[in-house]
Amino acid sequence: MSKSKLEVHYDFDFTLFALNANVKPHKIAWFLNTKEGYNFNRIEELNIEFNRSKRINIIQYLHEDDYSKFRILKNRAEMVEDAFDAFLLPEMKQFDYLLMLENESSNFNENVFFNKIREIPFVQFAIKVDLNTLKSRDNLIF
């Protein structure tokens, strides 16, 4: 009997920034709320289960309006089991936070927003991530 294999291809219709900031995630959310007028709120932790019953919990903050959804995600897992060095994106371990932008507005300028992120005093480094080069980009589908 022949076997069929199902291949699923996802459409990654968001922009991803990676940040280095030696602060707690609520400080990034607070800064964007007070200085830039966003409304980031902490929501339920993101739970991702891997094979062999390993799972990670990721802290996340969300700003949502009619045309956009922005998330601040901590890259390193909060609760780790059995010395499992867990990252949301393991190939980007050098970064503390990920900022996901899902935007449908034509008024939003991504480059202006990125420059504002880079100007935050406690953000040491920020880059725009090419999603096509990430091996674990499927971890960002939720």
The answer, as to whether pTM is greater than 0.85, is no
> Would you give the end-to-end CA distance of the chain in angstroms?
35
Residue-level pLDDT at 103: 78
Among residues 95, 100, 97, which one has the least CA distance to residue 63?
Answer: 100
Residue-level pLDDT at 41: 92
Residue-level pLDDT at 30: 92
Determine whether 20 is exposed, middle or buried from the number of CB atoms within 10 Å of its CB (0-12, 13-18, 19+): middle
**DSSP codes of every residue in 103-142:** E--SS--HHHHHHHHHTSTTEEEEEEE-GGG-TTGGGG--
Among residues 45, 34, 37, 33, which one has the least CA distance to residue 74?
Answer: 45
Residue-level pLDDT at 106: 72
10-57 residue pLDDT tens: 566 788 899 999 898 889 999 989 988 889 999 988 777 766 667 777
83-135 residue pLDDT tens: 456 778 888 889 989 898 887 767 778 888 888 888 888 989 999 888 778 88
* Per-state percent for the chain, helix, strand, coil, to nearest 5: 20, 35, 45
